[in-house]
Amino acid sequence: MIPENHMSSRNAIKPSTKFIVSTLTLLLILTLFGNFIAIAATPTPNEVEAVARTLYCPLCVGQRLDACEIPLCIDMKREIAEQLAQGRTPEEIRQYFVAQYGPVVLGEPPRKGFNWLAWVIPFLVLAGAAAFVLIRVRQWSSTQPATAGGTGPEGTAGTEPEEDEYTRQVERELAEWE
């Protein structure tokens, strides 16, 4: 028979083993919990694309960031994802890129300072062109000769004296050729 002291030492777990098992369990739990936090903090591609749609490539003219595939734009989209993961709002991210690359990344000039002219001048030019066309149409319609509406069977009664003079000259020259 085995003494009792010997059996209890066999089934007993050493304190160092308990410490190692509990530490590993705690690390496993923290790792899993940390991954859940990272997954929750990772922005979805739709969130990144939504912000990228409001920005323009600083190198390509008129190319939105979500459609541009040059390395700079890929890096900018990666930066958007990182900043969204840090909890920044889309407006803060836009301001960050404006500070980095200037207002060209917004795709439109800001509506303040000297840039307001970029918003006003196209409408002024359009209004000026419409006014010019209207004035020219009125001038053309007022200088058109009056038509002879029913003054004679052939409408010749309304011909002007210049036309009669030319007609007579043509008739004289034709008579000379005969």
Chain segment 101-156, per-residue pLDDT in tens: 888 888 776 677 777 777 788 899 999 999 999 999 988 888 766 554 445 445 45
Q: Bridge-partner residues for 79, per DSSP?
A: none
pLDDT of 84 strictly over 50: yes
Question: How far apart, in whole angstroms, are the C-alpha atoms of residue 101 and residue 118?
Answer: 20
In this structure, are 82 and 65 located in the same domain? yes
Query: What's this model's pTM, rounded to 2 decimal places?
Result: 0.43
In this structure, are 53 and 100 located in the same domain? yes
Tally of domains in the chain = 2
In this structure, are 99 and 87 located in the same domain? yes
Q: Of 86, 108, 130, which closes a domain?
A: 108
In this structure, are 53 and 99 located in the same domain? yes
Phi, then psi, of 69 in degrees rounded to 5 = -120, 15
In this structure, are 55 and 94 located in the same domain? yes
Query: What would the two tokens of residue 44 be?
Result: 């979805």
Output b/e per residue, 17-43; b: 16+ Cβ within 10 A.
eeeeeeeeeeeeeeeeeeeeeeeeeeb
The CATH code of the domain that includes 77 is: 1.10.8.640
In this structure, are 99 and 56 located in the same domain? yes
What does the pLDDT read at residue 39?
47
Q: Are 85 and 48 in contact (CB under 8 A)?
A: no
In this structure, are 66 and 118 located in the same domain? no
End-to-end CA distance of the chain, in Å? Answer: 159
Residue 116 sits in which domain range?
111-139
